[in-house]
C-alpha cells in the first residue's frame, strides 16, 4: 500500500481555499482575461471532455487518433466560420500567442524559401498584439511598427504600403486590435500584399469567434483575397478553458512551413505542427465539445448577448461626463480615455477611474499612454472586454462605472514623480513588497520610465511572485 503524505481531500481543500482568493472567473466582475459564456452547462461539458482526454499525449495524432479527429473537426468549424474553403488548413495551438508565433515562423520560412536573405521584417500597426513583439524577438525578425491615428486607433493604408519592400516577410493586421478594438483596413492591405507576394496575417485572436456574427462589418477574414493566415482564439470567444486557439492557412504549402520536422537524431522521428513536444489535448477536447453542442447558432446567440451588453456600456460611457470611447470599436471590447473636449476640471483620468471601479469590485484593465515612433501620442486608457455574462450584471456594472467616474472626476493623472516619491524613490525595492492595490501609480511609472528599465522591473516583480517562500 502506497504511503501518501496527505489525503486527496485535504489537498483539494487547500486548492479551493487558494482559488477563493483569486479574482472571480465567473459572474462578469473581471473585464479581461476571462470569457464567461454565462452557461454553467458549457463549463461542465468542457470539464468532462478535458477529463476524458487528460491522459492523452497530443504529441502524436497517429498513436492517439482521437486527437486527429478532434483537431480536424475544430479546424473545419473554424474555416467555415472564418471565410475559408476546402483548401483551408491549419492547426489547433495552445493559445493566441502560440498562433501568432507560428504565423511569424511560417512567414519567415516562406520568405526564406522564396529567396529572402538577411533579416526579414514584420510590418504592423503599433496596436498589433505584443505576441508579435515576442515573435520578432524569438525568431530574429525586425518588427516595423506603423503609427495609428490617436483619434481612430487605426492605421492608414498608405503608411503600411510605404514600409513594404523585399525584406518584408509579413504584414500583420488585427480584427480587431486589442488595445482599442479598431478594425484595421484589411481589404486594402491584403490586396497590396497579394500584389507584392507578401504574407498577410489577420490577427483575429480576440474577434475570431465574435465578429462573424456582426453583418455590418466589411469583410475581414479569409474571404478577403490576399489574407494568407488567420488566428482565432478558442479560449476567448470560443468559451473553452485556456490552452486553445486556431491558426488557419489559405494553402497547404504555407501550413507545411509552420511545421518542424527532424530525423537527425537517434530517437523517434519528430514532426511537430506546434511549438511543444508532449502536450495536453484537454483544451482541444473541451473546445471541440463546446463547438459540437453550441454550433454556429449557439455562438451567434452568445455573441448577440455580448453585443447588447457592449452597446449598453458604450452608451453608459457616452453619458459619463469626462470620459470618451476611443475610435470606433468593433466587437465586444473597447477602451475609454479622458475626454479632451471638456475642461480639465471635468475630465476623468481613466486609470484613477479603473482603480475606483476596482474598489467597487469591478476589475478593468489599465493601458498606458504610448509615444508612437514617428506618430501621435496615444492616450492612457482603460480597457473593457465584454462577455455574454456581462448582460446579466449590467445594472450593477453601469452604476459602478458612473460612481467610479464621479469619485475621481477632475483629478489629474497620477504624476510619475509623485508615484516615484510614494515608493520612496527606490522603485525596485518597492516592487519587492506586496503587489500594490492601486495600479494608476504603477502605470504612471510604466509611461514615464524608459522601456528597458520598466521591462527589467516588471520581470523582477513577476519572478518574485512565483519564487518559493
Ligand atoms: C489575446 C490576444 C492575443 C494573444 O493571445 P493569448 O491567448 O493571450 O496568448 C493575440 N492577439 C490578440 C488580438 C489578442 O486579443
Q: How far apart are CA 351 and CA 365, in angstroms?
A: 9
Which domain-ending residue is among 291, 318, 345? 291
Q: Find the angle CA(155)-CA(385)-CA(462) to the nearest 5 degrees.
A: 95
Task: Take residue 438 and report the three cell numbers written for it.
Answer: 492601486
Q: Is there an atom of ligand 1 within 6 Å of 205 CB?
A: yes
CA of 432 to the centre of ligand 1 (A): 28
CA of 96 to the centre of ligand 1 (A): 4
pLDDT at residue 452, rounded to an integer: 95
Determine, yes or no, domain membership for 198: yes
In this structure, the residue with its CA closest to atom 6 of ligand 1 is: 96
Number of domains in the chain: 2
Query: What CA dihedral angle connects 365, 203, 246 and 233, to 10 degrees?
Result: 20
Residues 203-214 as b/e (b if ≥16 CB within 10 A, e otherwise) read: bbbbbbbbbbbb
Ligand 1 atom at minimum distance from 174 CA: 13
Q: How far apart are CA 236 and CA 210, in angstroms?
A: 9
Which domain-ending residue is among 271, 291, 311? 291
Q: Is there an atom of ligand 1 within 6 Å of 233 CB?
A: yes
Q: Which residues pair with 246 in a beta bridge?
A: 92, 232
Helix (H) or strand (E) holding 443: helix 440-448
pLDDT at residue 431, rounded to an integer: 62
Whether 120 and 259 map to the same domain: the answer is yes
Determine, yes or no, domain membership for 186: yes
Residue 314: φ, ψ to 5°: -60, -40
Residues in contact with 364: Cβ distance below 8 Å, sequence separation at least 6, in sequence order: 31, 32, 353, 354, 357, 358, 382, 383, 384
Which domain-ending residue is among 291, 320, 349? 291
Q: Is there an atom of ligand 1 within 6 Å of 102 CB?
A: no
Whether 282 and 420 map to the same domain: the answer is no
Whether 128 and 276 map to the same domain: the answer is yes
DSSP-assigned letters across all residues of 313-352: HHHHHHTSTTEEE-S---SSEEEEEE-TTS-GGG---HHH
Q: Is there an atom of ligand 1 within 6 Å of 383 CB?
A: no
Q: How far apart are CA 284 and CA 289, in angstroms?
A: 9
pLDDT at residue 438, rounded to an integer: 87
Q: Is there an atom of ligand 1 within 6 Å of 129 CB?
A: yes
CATH number at residue 246: 3.40.640.10
Q: Is there an atom of ligand 1 within 6 Å of 234 CB?
A: no
Residues 108-126 as b/e (b if ≥16 CB within 10 A, e otherwise) read: bbbbeeeebeeebbbbbbb
Determine, yes or no, domain membership for 448: yes
Task: Take residue 334 and report the three cell numbers written for it.
Answer: 473597447
Determine, yes or no, domain membership for 203: yes
DSSP state of 59: T
CA of 270 to the centre of ligand 1 (A): 28
CA-CA-CA-CA torsion sign (88, 89, 93, 99)? negative
- Per-residue pLDDT reduced to its tens digit, 392-431: 999 999 999 999 999 999 999 999 888 888 777 666 666 6
Ligand 1 pocket test target in 97, 135, 174, 244 with most atoms within 8 Å of CB: 97
pLDDT at residue 96, rounded to an integer: 98
CA of 341 to the centre of ligand 1 (A): 32
- Provide the angle, in degrees to the nearest 10, between the axes of the packed helices 96-113 and 131-139: 40
Each residue's pLDDT, cut to its tens digit, for the chain (469 residues) gives 677 888 999 999 999 999 999 999 999 999 999 999 999 999 999 999 999 999 999 999 999 999 999 999 999 999 999 999 999 999 999 999 999 999 999 999 999 999 999 999 999 999 999 999 999 999 999 999 999 999 999 999 999 999 999 999 999 999 999 999 999 999 999 999 999 999 999 999 999 999 999 999 999 999 999 999 999 999 999 999 999 999 999 999 999 999 999 999 999 999 999 999 999 999 999 999 999 999 999 999 999 999 999 999 999 999 999 999 999 999 999 999 999 999 999 999 999 999 999 999 999 999 999 999 999 999 999 999 999 999 999 999 999 999 999 999 999 999 988 888 877 766 666 666 666 778 999 899 999 999 999 999 999 989 999 999 8
In this structure, the residue with its CA closest to atom 7 of ligand 1 is: 96
Determine, yes or no, domain membership for 59: yes
Task: Take residue 140 and report the three cell numbers written for it.
Answer: 530574429
Q: Is there an atom of ligand 1 within 6 Å of 184 CB?
A: no
CA of 198 to the centre of ligand 1 (A): 23
In this structure, the residue with its CA closest to atom 4 of ligand 1 is: 96
Q: Find the angle CA(104)-CA(107)-CA(112) to the nearest 5 degrees.
A: 125
CA of 95 to the centre of ligand 1 (A): 7
Q: Is there an atom of ligand 1 within 6 Å of 35 CB?
A: no
CA of 277 to the centre of ligand 1 (A): 22
Q: Is there an atom of ligand 1 within 6 Å of 208 CB?
A: no
Residues in contact with 366: Cβ distance below 8 Å, sequence separation at least 6, in sequence order: 350, 351, 354, 380, 382, 383, 439, 440, 443
Residue 299: φ, ψ to 5°: -65, -40
Q: How far apart are CA 206 and CA 74, in angstroms?
A: 17
DSSP-assigned letters across all residues of 263-278: --SSSSPEEESSS-SS
Residues 291 and 139 sit within 8 Å (Cβ to Cβ): no
Cell 447558432 maps to which residue?
A: 297
In this structure, the residue with its CA closest to atom 8 of ligand 1 is: 96
Q: Find the angle CA(196)-CA(202)-CA(205) to the nearest 5 degrees.
A: 165
Q: How far apart are CA 60 and CA 313, in angstroms?
A: 46
In 10 A of CB 352, how many CB atoms?
A: 24
Q: Which domain holds residue 449?
A: 416-465
Determine, yes or no, domain membership for 27: no
In this structure, the residue with its CA closest to atom 5 of ligand 1 is: 96
Determine, yes or no, domain membership for 5: no
CA of 338 to the centre of ligand 1 (A): 26
Ligand 1 atom at minimum distance from 100 CA: 10
Q: How far apart are CA 410 and CA 168, in angstroms?
A: 46
Q: Is there an atom of ligand 1 within 6 Å of 100 CB?
A: yes
Q: How far apart are CA 244 and CA 312, in angstroms?
A: 30
Ligand 1 atom at minimum distance from 242 CA: 7
For strands 121-125 and 168-174, give the pairing.
parallel
Q: Is there an atom of ligand 1 within 6 Å of 95 CB?
A: yes
Q: Which residues pair with 245 in a beta bridge?
A: 93, 233
CA of 429 to the centre of ligand 1 (A): 31
Determine, yes or no, domain membership for 153: yes
Q: Is there an atom of ligand 1 within 6 Å of 77 CB?
A: no
Amino acid at each position: 500500500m502506497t504511503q501518501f503524505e496527505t489525503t486527496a481531500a485535504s489537498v483539494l481543500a487547500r486548492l479551493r481555499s487558494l482559488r477563493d482568493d483569486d479574482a472571480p472567473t465567473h459572474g462578469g466582475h473581471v473585464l479581461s482575461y476571462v470569457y464567461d459564456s454565462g452557461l454553467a452547462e458549457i463549463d461542465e461539458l468542457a470539464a468532462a471532455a478535458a477529463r476524458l482526454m487528460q491522459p492523452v499525449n497530443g504529441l502524436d495524432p497517429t498513436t492517439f487518433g482521437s486527437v486527429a479527429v478532434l483537431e480536424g473537426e475544430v479546424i473545419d468549424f473554424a474555416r467555415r466560420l472564418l471565410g475559408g474553403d476546402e483548401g483551408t488548413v491549419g492547426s489547433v495551438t495552445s493559445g493566441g500567442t502560440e498562433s501568432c508565433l507560428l504565423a511569424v515562423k511560417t512567414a519567415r520560412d516562406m520568405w526564406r524559401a522564396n529567396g529572402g536573405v538577411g533579416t526579414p521584417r514584420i510590418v504592423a500597426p503599433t496596436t498589433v498584439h505584443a505576441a508579435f513583439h515576442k515573435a520578432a524577438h524569438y525568431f530574429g525578425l525586425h518588427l516595423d511598427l506603423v503609427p495609428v491615428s490617436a483619434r481612430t486607433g487605426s492605421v492608414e493604408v498608405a503608411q503600411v504600403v510605404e514600409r513594404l519592400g523585399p525584406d518584408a516577410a509579413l504584414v500583420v493586421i488585427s480584427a480587431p486590435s486589442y488595445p482599442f478594438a479598431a478594425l484595421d483596413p484589411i481589404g486594402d492591405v491584403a490586396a497590396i500584399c497579394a500584389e507584392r507576394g507578401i504574407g498577410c496575417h489577420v490577427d483575429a485572436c480576440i474577434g475570431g469567434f465574435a465578429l462573424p456574427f456582426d453583418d455590418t462589418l466589411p469583410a475581414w477574414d479569409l474571404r478577403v483575397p490576399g489574407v494568407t493566415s488567420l488566428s482565432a482564439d478558442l479560449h476567448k470567444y470560443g468559451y473553452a478553458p485556456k490552452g486553445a486557439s486556431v491558426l488557419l492557412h489559405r494553402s497547404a504549402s504555407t501550413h507545411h512551413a509552420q511545421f518542424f520536422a527532424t530525423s537527425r537524431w537517434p530517437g523517434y522521428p519528430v514532426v511537430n505542427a506546434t511549438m511543444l513536444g508532449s502536450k495536453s489535448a484537454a483544451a482541444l477536447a473541451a473546445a471541440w465539445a463546446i463547438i459540437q453542442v453550441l454550433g454556429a447558432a449557439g455562438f451567434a446567440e452568445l455573441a448577440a448577448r455580448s453585443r447588447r451588453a457592449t452597446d449598453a456600456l458604450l452608451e453608459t460611457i457616452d453619458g459619463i461626463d469626462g470620459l470618451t470611447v476611443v475610435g470606433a470599436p468593433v466587437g465586444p471590447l473597447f477602451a475609454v480615455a479622458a475626454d479632451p473636449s471638456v475642461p480639465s476640471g471635468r475630465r476623468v483620468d481613466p486609470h484613477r477611474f479603473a482603480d475606483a471601479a476596482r474598489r467597487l469590485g469591478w476589475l478593468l484593465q489599465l493601458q498606458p499612454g504610448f509615444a508612437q515612433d514617428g506618430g501621435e501620442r496615444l492616450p492612457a486608457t482603460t480597457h473593457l472586454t465584454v462577455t455574454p455574462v456581462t448582460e446579466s450584471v449590467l445594472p450593477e456594472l453601469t452604476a459602478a462605472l458612473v460612481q467610479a467616474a464621479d469619485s475621481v472626476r477632475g483629478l489629474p493623472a497620477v504624476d510619475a514623480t509623485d508615484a516615484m516619491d510614494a515608493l520612496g524613490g527606490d522603485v525596485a525595492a518597492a516592487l519587492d513588497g506586496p503587489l500594490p492595490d492601486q495600479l494608476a501609480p504603477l502605470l504612471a511609472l510604466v509611461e514615464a520610465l524608459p522601456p528597458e528599465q520598466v521591462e527589467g522591473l516588471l520581470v523582477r516583480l513577476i519572478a518574485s511572485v512565483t519564487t518559493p517562500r
